[in-house]
Amino acid sequence: MIKDNPELIAKIRDRFAHVDRCPFQGERIFFENAGGALTLKSVVETSAFYAAIPDNPGRINPAGQGTQAVINKAKTDLALFMNASSGQFFAGESGTELLFRMIRTACVNAPKGSKVIGSSIEHPATRSAARRWADIAGLTYVNVPHDDETGLVTASHYATHMSPDVSVATVLHGSPVTGMAMDVVAIVKAIREISPECVIIIDGIQHAAHGLIDLDSYGADGYAISPYKVFSRHGYGIAWISDRMTALPHDRLIGAPEDGWEFGTRDAGSFATVSDVVSYFDWLGRQVSDETDPRARIEAAGRAIHDYEFHLTNALIKGVGNLPGLADMPHVTILAGADNPSREGL
């Protein structure tokens, strides 16, 4: 357990930039993990290195081939990190931009007059894209209200509003507002039981740093993350799409490969920082387990992060020693209750 291992905590802290100081503010603890995560020092070094390379990835020269190899490696690392045995990864401007792109593509390819389903728990990124593109594509938007008491939307909430003519669905994985993780496996299953061919897109932006990602078990068609929320940096987002989604007609250059979803020249440095993040999970997995299999190490790291965040969140809510927690303060309201098993470390 990380919480019982101060030496490991010191080693972890040493891997991140600005742990106890902010260049704008001075001394501080960064507690805003709904809006970002601390950045790995390795990500900072890697970014500077690749920012200085003028070569175009893919060109037939050593730097062009070298940067392309870095991009390819990052995609292989992502498949391990997010457990994807099929489909593809690509980068965009941000998680929000990628969600718009996936939802737009799903909506304009959906049968006319069909429906788009989503929930009131979602971030505006998916809500805005689904409502806008449902309107443009002549689809009806169906809202699944979430439960305020638990801070969740569940599979049975979705099932109540599902019908066979739902062709596009959006699902939130972790909520930055309530702090809860949805049961995406159960929600996707409930959607597919009623509309098996529905294109399902998950917003994993908030969940990504707080627990594990296991795309193979979700059965979805799209999943977006924002790497600055998982120890990398701002400036890009990463999406995964299924083979089925890959094949949908989508925006691309005339003559470009049909399965390509990327726009323009790639930033090798952003991909390289993804590999830094996966290396960090691998390193952490070695510290907290004896696993030898790379995916098992990532899973061990994910569990350790989850447990430690549970410990920190409980310290805030319930107090430490004779210090009161938020739950002891009469003027404080804890969204979705003090003891909610779905709470991630938010």
Ligand X SMILES: Cc1ncc(COP(=O)(O)O)c(C=O)c1O
Interacting residue ranges for ligand X, rule: CB under 6 A: 35, 94-96, 123, 125, 172, 176, 203, 205-206, 226, 237
Q: Report the residue number, 12 or 202, with the smaller CB distance to ligand X.
A: 202
Task: Give CA–CA dist 172/180, Å, rounded.
Answer: 10
Q: What's the closest the beta carbon of residue 223 comes to ligand X, in angstroms? A: 12
Least Å distance, CB 306 to ligand X, is: 17
Q: Which is nearer to ligand X, 203 or 221 (CB)?
A: 203
Q: What contacts 101, CB < 8 A, 6 or more positions away?
A: 92, 239, 250, 251, 261
Longest CA pairwise span in the chain (Å): 68
Give the nearest distance from C-beta 288 to ligand X in angstroms.
26
Measured from the CB atom, the residue of 68 and 270 that comes closer to ligand X is 270
Provide the minimum distance between the beta carbon of 125 and ligand X in the complex, in angstroms, as a whole number: 4
Identify the CA nearest to 7 among candidates 209, 287, 304: 287
Contact 83, 216 (CB under 8 A): yes
Compute the 3-state secondary structure of the chain and give helix, strand, coil in percent, each to the nearest 5.
45, 15, 40
Query: Least Å distance between CB 1 and ligand X?
Result: 27
- According to DSSP H, which parts of 211-267 are helical? 215-218, 243-246
Nearer to ligand X, 222 or 237 (CB): 237
Identify which of residues 207 and 297 has a Cβ nearer to ligand X in the complex. Answer: 207
Look at the alpha carbons of 142, 146, 152, 157 in this order and tell me if their dihedral is positive or negative: negative
Query: Nearest Cα to 198, choosing from 223, 162, 224, 173?
Result: 162
End-to-end Cα separation, the chain, in angstroms: 19
Q: Which is nearer to ligand X, 2 or 208 (CB)?
A: 208
Q: Strand pairing partners for 241?
A: 88, 222
User: How far, in Å, CA of 269 to CA of 251, rounded?
Assistant: 24
CB 153 to ligand X: min, Å: 13
Min separation Cβ 152 and ligand X, Å: 14
Do 198 and 191 touch, CB atoms closer than 8 A?
A: yes
Q: How far is the CB of 206 from ligand X (least distance, A)?
A: 4
Report in angstroms how near the CB of residue 171 gets to ligand X at its nearest: 11
Q: Which of 165, 34, 62, 167 is nearest to 107 (CA)?
A: 167
Cα–Cα distance measured from residue 140 to residue 339, given in angstroms and rounded to the nearest whole number: 37
- How many angstroms separate the CA atoms of 158 and 152, rounded? 11
Looking at beta carbons only, is 84 or 129 nearer to ligand X?
129
Closer residue to ligand X in complex, CB, 137/209: 209
Which residue, 20 or 93, has its beta carbon nearer to ligand X? 93
